[in-house]
Structure 1
Amino acid sequence: MKSTTRTFAAAVLTGVAAAVGAAAPAVAADTVPVPVPLDGVEQSLNLDLPKVGGELPLLMPGVPEGPRYVEGQMIPASALPQVPLGAALPGLSAETPLPQVVGKGFDEASVKVPAADLRTLTPGLSVETPLTAPNPEVFGLPTLREPQAAVLTPLLQTAPTGALGLGSL
């Protein structure tokens, strides 16, 4: 193998390893921190500005349930399965300096709302055909009945929390 081919192969492998190494922490995180940079404004105006940041969730699709066969039905119980989606509600943190109006020792006000886990299920559909399973009383032929359809309701579960506070810098 020529030295240029080896160099090219080493460069490609290094690039792939760097891309995989950089992507792994981003995929493993549930939220992405989003700081709001106000340092330049703070220095140019010579003021104490609030410190603001947030967290944005990453949507993680789950695996839908497989078909559930019910005795006496020709179509599985959930024709269009519900898909679970796991994510988080966005988070927020803000701290702002206060003048000495409230009293001594209270130099800042803060709000912290951490990202809360969010569990959801998409809507689903359950359908039943107008034909029954083979009926032995009618020589093994299916009988007619009214078709039925049901919409499976979506699900949304979360428990957000937050904290308000006064404190010193």
Structure 2
Amino acid sequence: MGIVVTCLASAAMATPAAAAAAPVAPVDVPLHGLGTVLPTDTPTLRTGVPIPVPGAPMGLTGHGEGKVQPLMLPQLPVTTGVPETLVSAPLPDVVEGQTGRAEVAAPASDVQATTPGAVLGSPLTLPRPESLGLPGVELPQAGFLSPTVTGALDSTLGLAQPQS
């Protein structure tokens, strides 16, 4: 039974081969103060702080056929990574009378997002030959570009037996 639980925990804790390449500042949360309150070993929490990386503005060269180039608040792409997170807590007498550990892990993954944007058309049209080359007047068109977020999050739960 103990070998099966250990194998399952090892498989659950294995990180994917294509881990997130986004920059992350590692953080070990100090929980040692809980040792005075808890009758067992202190839990551990390892994670990181994602560092967002902005990209180049999107859509600055958009134009409509037969229209003046619209004024635009461009969308800004942002890439970041959700860091690998590991929470581990001791569980006494779980497997064959030894102290085991409960572990919850979330592997690292990439997240891409874009900020909202806006488009405002010009109230003038391109020059017209019937008006001797003068631009025409029209109602400006306005629109909003929605923000987006894409990514994949996953988590695993397992029990681990202490290494001897």
The two structures share one fold, judged by TM-score above 0.5: yes
2:111 maps to what in 1? 118
Unmatched tracts of structure 2, length 5 or more: 1-20
Kindly tell me: are residues 45 and 97 of structure 1, through their superposed partners in 2, closer, same or farther at Cα, counting changes over 3 Å? closer
Q: Deviations over 1:48-101 (max 9, x none)?
A: 11111111100111111332233322124x611111111123542111111225
Q: CA RMSD in A?
A: 2.7
Q: Distance in 2 between matches of 1:152 and 1:29?
A: 26
Higher RCO (CA 8 Å, separation ≥ 6 residues): 2
1:75 maps to what in 2? 69
1:150 maps to what in 2? 143
Which has more strand, going by share of residues? Answer: 2
Of 117, 138, 158, the match for 2:131: 138
Which has more helix, going by share of residues? Answer: 1
Runs of 4+ aligned structure 1 residues displaced above 6 Å come to: 43-46
Sequence identity (%) = 38
Kindly tell me: are residues 152 and 54 of structure 1, through their superposed partners in 2, closer, same or farther at Cα, counting changes over 3 Å? same
Q: What count of residue pairs does the alignment treat as equivalent?
A: 140
Larger Rg: 1
> Taking structure 2 as the reference length, what is the TM-score of the superposition?
0.72
> Taking structure 1 as the reference length, what is the TM-score of the superposition?
0.70
Alignment of 1:1-169 (within 5 A): 30-39=23-32, 42=35, 47-65=40-58, 66-76=60-70, 79-101=72-94, 103-104=95-96, 107-169=100-162
